[in-house]
Structure 1
Amino acid sequence: MMPLAEAQARLLANVPPPPATERCPLNAALNMVLAETVTSTVTVPPSDNSAVDGYAVRYADLGRVLPVSQRIPAGAVPAPLVPGSAARIFTGAAVPAEADTVLMQEECEALDGQVRLPAASSVKTSPVKKGANIRRAGQDIRAGDEVVSAGTRLSPRHLGLLASVGVAEVSVYRPLRVALLSTGDELAEPGTAAAPGQIYNSNRYLLHALLAEAGMIPVDLGRVADDYAATHGALASAGQRCDLVLTTGGVSVGEEDHMRAAVAALGSLDLWRVAIKPGKPFAFGHLGDTPFMGLPGNPSAVLVTFMILVLPWLRRAQGLAGDPMPPCVGLPAGFSTDKPGKREEYLRVQVVGEAGQQRLQPHPNQSSGMLSSACWAEGLAVVPAGRVVREGDVLGFIRF
């Protein structure tokens, strides 16, 4: 078996260049990967503006009764403040020239065409300071600033920020198309009656959702019979249509496992059997020029190998900048093990206990065939190969 770290390194060393770029409107760019860094052509906010509803004044006039010389709603262009007067102003409105402070309306007393301003020290909450309640021009972004860097997966926050500087569309990498193939005559589809000896095909739906969540385009090619010719034909077709071919089942050593032989006939099998638990019969190769990854058939092994081996490759191949590996933090174990394992193990765990006293608690059944434990769990605890765990030992934790 290949050590996991070596397998991960080999996978990331075999990532093709990012896909072609395309222009995309903001409202369709969620989860896309930005291909070009965006810099701002505008300043945000463009001018000093009021953070509250109230009165724009000169700080030197606090404690006086002043006439109200103008009313400034958001979006209006104010005239300079008349000396010895106050301007009624609303949240987001531009602060007029000559005003240097905004008072909240609750701190002032509105009179007939006038306003009584409090003294700086008489405000109940805290003394008023010069410049209070003014959001300065450019406090968020200045013209020429980098707004979002290339290689960023665009979240709703990024889209809002890009809109705030007037960007209507961006250059993004085309989402990767990933072919999904399930193997096994024992698989039945949800919504149909399972025959004796059959199980429902959960991997098909699990992987489709994982790929969509990661911003990829799943291309579901259905189930392939446990037959060499059918497997060979399905792989050949998938390799011509997609950026990656992803299969489940058929990569072990049984007489009905035809995937390895078919991949080798169509291209090359570069990696098989990784020291990971669950998920040992993971395969990587090429169908001509198209990368291929073969996942085990057991559902929890599919989940783990996707998170640890497939997803980092997909992130790098999609053009995502930064570390493609899932974030991992250290937390104490709330359990012990009897003997060291030969493979790096990923346990389905919950985080239990109060803040500062948290522990990783594993599900009592770590069978690779069950998904209910993954729904119970909050993530995966990483137990390195060759290590015995004692309660309180710090382990890596990867949150789902």
Structure 2
Amino acid sequence: MGCCDVPGLMPIEDAQEKLLADIQPVSDTLTLPIGDAIGYVLADDICSPLNVPPFDNSAMDGYAVRREDICAQHTLPIAGKSMAGTPFDKVWPKNTCVRIMTGAQIPNGCDAVIMQENAHVTESGVLFNETDLKPMQNIRPVGDDICQEDVVLTKGARLTARDIPMIATLGIANVTVLKKPVVAFFSTGDELQPLGSELGAGQIYDSNRYGIKALIEQFGCEPLDLGIIADNPKQLTETFMHAQQLADVVLTSGGVSVGEADYTKDILGQLGEINFWKLAIKPGKPFAFGTLPQAWFCGLPGNPVSAFITCYVLVQPLLAKLAGHTQWQAPVSIPAITHSSFKKSPGRTDYQRGIYHIENGQVVVESTGNQSSGAFRSMSLANCFVVLERERGRVEVGETVNIELFNASISA
């Protein structure tokens, strides 16, 4: 144990390793129209059944020519037109040209296209200002983008808005994908009230479920909201048993600390197995992970920022692996110079909320202000995490820190 380790708290790196150690991707598949497949993970490679483009075509509006027919001060009569979807299919006499539009099929024998800006139409034909032509100038050859049998997307890729139109260009209407893991989630606490209700003394609105639901969806999983469950051992036990029959993962917020009404950890110990509890992370120390008879379990802290950050940092890679998203990558980390100080005590890896920007070519970062685990405004203002190492203490202005840029799950 190092000088800055806190007894009983697992380093976050160890926790991340344990979280992923036994997770196996889902295997059930379904076939979906590509218009409905965004956000799903591919169950198989997608190979192109054709060349893209499937024929030589013009890169611009202009004139299809044979280079040998081009010479200065010599006009070429127009033999016809090649339009997108309507190729020129007549006999093409020598010493003539073909009017052609962008995307139109190149006539047989054509080895260059002259853009219309370099042509002058006269009564006797077209006079070209450009005569020194390169072979295949302004021509997109067959297979220029994709060749037949190319693997264009690999198994384990999560489909994005960029992928769908590419698949459509191949003429593929349906894709086989992995079923999204189901994540059942609920909040615990007698103090929590649903939105729209009136708050009584000591009560607050339940905000965690809304952030958790949004993250689950962004992580590529199917959320199942079980609402607010009171601090009642019998009701909590029944909810756990019901949830683990419906979902691959059960996710809770609250009830994993050491308060008198924090029952979640004890119930988990009775129903399943606790792999670890209490991490060297701030915010979010009371994070629990384990198994129920039929599902994985993650217990998030109850404070809003703690719940959100631990879901993002710890649950996200777990769900990515469970979903079969083999191309998932951890958020990008880069160095930055501080423009404000950051309060920090050694002992836990600290995820503080920051705002970064580029100043004179240098990445700089400053705090969003209140870093309390209950102050979500600082999370809403942030565009990065300032990740301060376990052994590090207070950070002053001008020091170098590592910042973690938000990935698409919270920046989109």
The count of residues paired between Structure 1 and Structure 2 equals 394
Query: In the aligned structure 1, how far is the partner of 2:30 from the partner of 2:255?
Result: 37
Please report how far the alpha carbon of residue 83 of structure 1 lies from its aligned counterpart in structure 2 after TM superposition. Answer: 1.2
Query: In the aligned structure 2, how far is the partner of 1:261 from the partner of 1:352?
Result: 45
Match of 1:227 among 215, 232, 238: 232
* Aligned position for 1:384: 389
TM-score, normalised with respect to structure 1? 0.95
* Aligned position for 1:125: none
Please report how far the alpha carbon of residue 355 of structure 1 lies from its aligned counterpart in structure 2 after TM superposition. Answer: 5.1
The AA in structure 1 aligned to 2:321 is: R
> Residues 237-248 of structure 1: matches in 2 within 5 Å?
237-248=242-253
**Which segment drifts farther, 269-278 or 206-215?**
206-215
* Structure 1 residues 119 and 326: CA distance shift in structure 2, 3 A: closer
> Residues 69-218 of structure 1: matches in 2 within 5 Å?
69-79=79-89, 81-112=92-123, 114-120=125-131, 128-218=133-223
* Structure 1 residues 91 and 280: CA distance shift in structure 2, 3 A: same
Match of 1:54 among 40, 59, 62: 62
> Is 1:395 the equivalent of 2:408?
no
Please report how far the alpha carbon of residue 362 of structure 1 lies from its aligned counterpart in structure 2 after TM superposition. Answer: 1.2
Query: In the aligned structure 2, how far is the partner of 1:372 from the partner of 1:12?
Result: 31
* Aligned position for 1:315: 320
* Structure 1 residues 339 and 235: CA distance shift in structure 2, 3 A: closer
The AA in structure 2 aligned to 1:397 is: E
Q: Is the 8 A contact 1:226 1:258 kept in 2?
A: yes
Query: In the aligned structure 1, how far is the partner of 2:31 from the partner of 2:167?
Result: 14
Q: Is the 8 A contact 1:352 1:361 kept in 2?
A: no
Query: In the aligned structure 2, how far is the partner of 1:109 from the partner of 1:392?
Result: 64
* Structure 1 residues 357 and 185: CA distance shift in structure 2, 3 A: same
* Aligned position for 1:354: 359
Task: Quote the sequence identity (%).
Answer: 38
* Aligned position for 2:6: none
The AA in structure 2 aligned to 1:186 is: E
Q: Which secondary structure state, in structure 2, belongs to the residue aligned with residue 120 of structure 1?
A: coil
**Per-residue CA distance 1:331-373 (angstroms, 9 max, x = gap):** 2333445664210000100013425122111122100001111
Aligned residues: CA RMSD: 1.6
> Is 1:294 the equivalent of 2:304?
no
Gaps of 5+ in 2: 1-8
Q: Which secondary structure state, in structure 1, belongs to the residue aligned with residue 42 of structure 2?
A: coil
> Is 1:328 the equivalent of 2:333?
yes
Query: In the aligned structure 1, how far is the partner of 2:287 from the partner of 2:325?
Result: 24
The AA in structure 1 aligned to 2:56 is: D
Q: Is the 8 A contact 2:342 2:367 kept in 1?
A: no
Please report how far the alpha carbon of residue 148 of structure 1 lies from its aligned counterpart in structure 2 after TM superposition. Answer: 0.4
Query: In the aligned structure 1, how far is the partner of 2:360 from the partner of 2:82?
Result: 49
The AA in structure 1 aligned to 2:189 is: G
Q: Is the 8 A contact 1:348 1:374 kept in 2?
A: yes
Query: In the aligned structure 2, how far is the partner of 1:214 from the partner of 1:194?
Result: 32
**Per-residue CA distance 1:72-118 (angstroms, 9 max, x = gap):** 11112333632110001111001111111111112111234621122
Please report how far the alpha carbon of residue 279 of structure 1 lies from its aligned counterpart in structure 2 after TM superposition. Answer: 0.3
